[in-house]
């Protein structure tokens, strides 16, 4: 159509989100985030190891149900996807969490996903097609890393203006993300061969929301343990980065790995549902998570204050 999603979405939209992030993020925060190795390990292991394995085990039970088998395969592909390049960052920023850590894990997870996600898809679902890692890697580098670096460079020259005017970076990213979702839905459901039965679709929607809620709660429990050493702001980034899955990387990867599959559209449906569902659920939980983070930060601040000496 006139929107030309093959250009505007694949290149311009994702690049705009990361240029926006590079422009809004303080350089010193991004530098300090690079050193937070424990947080990065937690997010990447949860996303690319625990998540797909847990889904695979769950699907062994669901395989005996009358749910459409291709939708179940699609649910497995969701588990194999890397962290998103946008939504986790936007929601972390909205709460006031560790945005720098969210950006780093989104970018780093995406790079890992270039190699790991196709391998996971081949492991769990199988495919005879070859995967052009070089072309995916170069496209990701140009649409994620380069815009982020350019944004940081531009920020150095207009830092004072940005501090003074405070542009609505969050609103800009949200609008671009909405356009990505809209065009992807149009692309998939425009396929005349797609055959969905209502029962399977409703069950898949229910499962997706249940999985997201369960995993968000699980990451919250793990990251707030007494010996975890994560700050409340770190926990916010962990919750969103560990449980969110990339649509902008996922759909192109599915088209490459499952090229020629008759049921590619059906396999894509769970990911198309998961992405807006994670944004909707995350947006609804923003006030609650923000309230928890602020109260937790205040409590930690009080416990660290030196006690006044008792007068004799």
Three-class HEC string of 266-304? HHHHHHHHHHHHHHHHHHHHHHHHHHHHHHHHHHHHHHH
Q: How many residues appear in the chain?
A: 312
Mean pLDDT across 90-115: 82
DSSP-assigned letters across all residues of 193-255: T----HHHHHHHHHHHHHHHHHHHHHHHHHHTSTTS---HHHHHHHHHHHH---STTHHHHHH
Indicate whether 210 pLDDT > 90. yes
How high is the pLDDT of residue 188? 59
Spatial neighbors of 9 by CB under 8 A, at least 6 apart, are 3, 179, 180, 183, 184, 248
Residue 150: is it exposed, middle or buried by C-beta count within 10 angstroms (0-12/13-18/19+)?
middle
Spatial neighbors of 236 by CB under 8 A, at least 6 apart, are 92, 95, 96, 97, 98, 289, 293
How high is the pLDDT of residue 128? 45
Mean pLDDT across 24-31: 63
Mean pLDDT across 130-155: 72
> What is the reported pTM?
0.73
CATH architecture of 5-293: Up-down Bundle (1.20)
Please state, for a pLDDT cut of 90, what percent of the chain lies above it.
19
How many CB atoms sit inside 10 A of residue 218's CB? Answer: 16
How high is the pLDDT of residue 219? 93
Residue 171: is it exposed, middle or buried by C-beta count within 10 angstroms (0-12/13-18/19+)?
exposed
Closest to 93 measured CA to CA, from 169, 148, 206, 27: 169
Mean pLDDT across 259-279: 81
pLDDT band at residue 4, thresholds of 50, 70 and 90? low
Indicate whether 165 pLDDT > 60. yes
Q: Phi first, then psi: what are they for 21, rounded to 5°?
A: -65, -45
Mean pLDDT across 126-133: 55
At 60-87, the pLDDT tens digits run: 998 888 888 888 988 999 999 988 767 8
Indicate whether 216 pLDDT > 60. yes
Indicate whether 104 pLDDT > 80. yes
Mean pLDDT across 131-140: 63
């Amino acid at each position: 159509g006139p929107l030309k999603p093959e250009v505007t979405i694949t290149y311009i939209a994702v690049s705009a989100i990361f240029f926006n992030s590079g422009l809004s993020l303080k350089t010193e925060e991004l530098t300090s985030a690079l050193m937070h190795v424990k947080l990065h390990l937690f997010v990447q292991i949860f996303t690319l190891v625990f998540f797909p394995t847990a889904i695979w085990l769950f699907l062994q039970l669901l395989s005996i149900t009358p749910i459409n088998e291709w939708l179940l395969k699609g649910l497995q592909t969701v588990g194999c996807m890397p962290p998103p390049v946008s939504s986790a960052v936007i929601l972390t920023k909205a709460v006031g969490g560790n945005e720098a850590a969210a950006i780093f894990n989104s970018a780093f997870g995406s790079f890992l996903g270039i190699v790991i996600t196709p391998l996971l898809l081949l492991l769990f679902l199988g495919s005879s097609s070859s995967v052009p890692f070089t072309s995916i890697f170069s496209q990701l580098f140009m649409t994620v890393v380069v815009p982020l670096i350019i944004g940081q460079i531009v920020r150095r020259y207009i830092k004072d203006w940005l501090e003074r005017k405070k542009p609505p970076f969050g609103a800009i990213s949200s609008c671009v993300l909405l356009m990505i979702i809209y065009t992807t839905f149009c692309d998939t459901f425009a396929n005349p061969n797609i055959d969905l039965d209502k029962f399977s679709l409703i069950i898949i929607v229910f499962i997706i929301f249940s999985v997201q809620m369960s995993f968000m709660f699980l990451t919250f429990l793990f990251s707030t343990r007494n010996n975890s050493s994560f700050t409340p702001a770190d926990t916010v980034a962990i919750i969103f980065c560990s449980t969110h899955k990339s649509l902008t990387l996922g759909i192109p990867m599915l088209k490459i790995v499952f090229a020629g599959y008759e049921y590619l559209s059906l396999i894509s449906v769970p990911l198309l549902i998961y992405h807006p569902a994670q944004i909707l659920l995350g947006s609804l939980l923003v006030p609650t998570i923000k309230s928890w983070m602020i109260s937790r930060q205040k409590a930690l601040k009080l416990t660290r204050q030196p006690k006044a000496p008792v007068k004799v």
